[in-house]
């Protein structure tokens, strides 16, 4: 039963940051990628063109990764709007809202409703969620790091881009001998205040692919400052993934900073080449650093 995975869904919704509608869809549909026997699970996997996964966390990661593809985002949303007609799904959404995910679920359903006002099942679910009074503060205190240091490789092609984004949350330490600009990030945000980020910001238009490859080989977290100059330099974001495929596949987390995440469209066949990497996109650098921290912590937890 879907309710058996309540705690996994709650963790997905309260420990990661992304556009709520895709976060919610990926979390709930992760169950149907895992469920071995139901007709709805088989239909869901067939429509999304995905195989059965070994657990819901794997399903969640795959769905979030593939949501970087515009066509898949649309299909995932469509399938989610079908499964929300199931009583067990609405009941689980209500329980998740009561346990702390009210804001994420409410924002997600309102976003879907703005585009699908004629969907009676969605309307019913949204009305049920609106009746719930928020009682718990969302937090990840049980996952809060202590004195964690993370090294990040950031790649860009617009010279002013890093300073514009990182200048508000960090301090430039000058240039490294390899040509990268070093940034020290010390966030004041509660869940990240004990995390120190050292970012190697690389201008791909000036630094060789060999140097970029060398840093990617050493880094578990990669951030891309994706814009038109970046796309022009690599002749499409898909070429960047292909050039550095062997190194990116070793990363724990890859975040794509872009002004308009809804316009991002990474080819599905490219995304499927990185089954173990956690991928996210956002127009908020803090959200990408947050997701990177959670992904790194979960990786370290598995290594124990």
Q: What are the boundaries of each domain within the chain?
A: 2-130, 141-303
Q: Output DSSP code: residue 304.
A: -
Specify which residues 150 forms β-bridges with.
197
Distance (Å, rounded) from C-alpha 175 to C-alpha 209? 18
pLDDT of residue 138: 46
Specify which residues 198 forms β-bridges with.
151, 184
Distance (Å, rounded) from C-alpha 291 to C-alpha 17? 6
pLDDT of residue 179: 76
pLDDT of residue 150: 84
CB 34 within 8 A of CB 56: yes
The hierarchical CATH code for the domain 141-303 is 3.40.50.300
Phi and psi at residue 106, to the nearest 5°: -60, -45
Q: Give Cα separations from 169 to 54, 139, 166 (angstroms).
A: 39, 22, 5
Distance (Å, rounded) from C-alpha 304 to C-alpha 300? 7
Residue 24 has pLDDT above 60, yes or no: yes
- Report residue 77's pLDDT band, with 50, 70 and 90 as the boundaries: very high
pLDDT of residue 139: 44
Distance (Å, rounded) from C-alpha 145 to C-alpha 148? 6
- Report residue 133's pLDDT band, with 50, 70 and 90 as the boundaries: low
pLDDT of residue 304: 67
- Report residue 146's pLDDT band, with 50, 70 and 90 as the boundaries: low
pLDDT of residue 142: 43
Least Cα distance to 129 among 99, 154, 149 occurs for: 99
Q: pTM for the whole thing?
A: 0.91
Q: How confident is the model over 78-114, as pLDDT tens digits?
A: 999 999 999 999 999 999 998 888 989 999 999 999 9
Residue 61 has pLDDT above 90, yes or no: yes
Residue 141 has pLDDT above 50, yes or no: no
Residue 140 has pLDDT above 50, yes or no: no
Q: How confident is the model over 27-39, as pLDDT tens digits?
A: 999 999 999 989 9
Q: Output DSSP code: residue 184.
A: E
Which position has the higher pLDDT, 176 or 273? 273
Phi and psi at residue 29, to the nearest 5°: -70, -20
Pairing of strands 253-257, 170-175: unpaired
Q: How confident is the model over 106-123, as pLDDT tens digits?
A: 999 999 999 988 899 999
């Amino acid at each position: 039963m879907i309710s058996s995975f309540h705690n996994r869904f709650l963790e997905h919704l309260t420990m990661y940051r992304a556009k709520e509608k895709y976060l919610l869809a990926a979390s709930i549909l992760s169950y149907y990628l895992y469920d071995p026997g139901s007709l709805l699970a088989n239909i869901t996997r067939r429509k999304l063109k995905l195989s059965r996964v070994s657990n819901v966390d794997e399903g969640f990661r795959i769905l979030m990764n593939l949501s970087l593809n515009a066509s898949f985002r649309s299909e995932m949303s469509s399938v989610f709007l079908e499964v929300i007609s199931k009583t067990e799904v609405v009941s689980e959404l209500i329980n998740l809202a009561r346990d702390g995910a009210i804001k994420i679920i409410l924002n997600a359903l309102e976003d879907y409703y703005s585009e699908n006002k004629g969907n009676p099942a969605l309307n019913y679910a949204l009305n049920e969620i609106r009746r719930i009074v928020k009682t718990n503060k969302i937090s990840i205190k049980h996952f809060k790091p202590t004195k964690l240091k993370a090294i990040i490789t950031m790649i860009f092609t617009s010279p002013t881009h890093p300073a514009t984004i990182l200048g508000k949350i960090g301090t430039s330490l000058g240039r490294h001998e390899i040509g990268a600009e070093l940034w020290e990030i010390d966030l004041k945000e509660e869940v990240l205040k004990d995390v120190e980020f050292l970012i190697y910001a690389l201008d791909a238009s000036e630094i060789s692919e060999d140097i970029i490859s060398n840093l990617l080989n050493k880094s578990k977290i990669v951030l891309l400052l994706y814009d038109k100059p970046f796309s022009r330099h690599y002749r499409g974001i898909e070429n960047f993934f292909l050039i550095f495929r062997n190194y990116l596949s070793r990363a724990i987390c890859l975040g794509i900073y872009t002004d308009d995440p809804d316009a991002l469209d990474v080819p599905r066949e490219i995304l499927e080449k990185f089954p173990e990497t956690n991928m996210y996109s956002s127009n908020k650098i803090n959200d990408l650093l947050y997701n990177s921290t959670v992904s790194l912590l979960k990786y370290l937890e598995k290594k124990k």
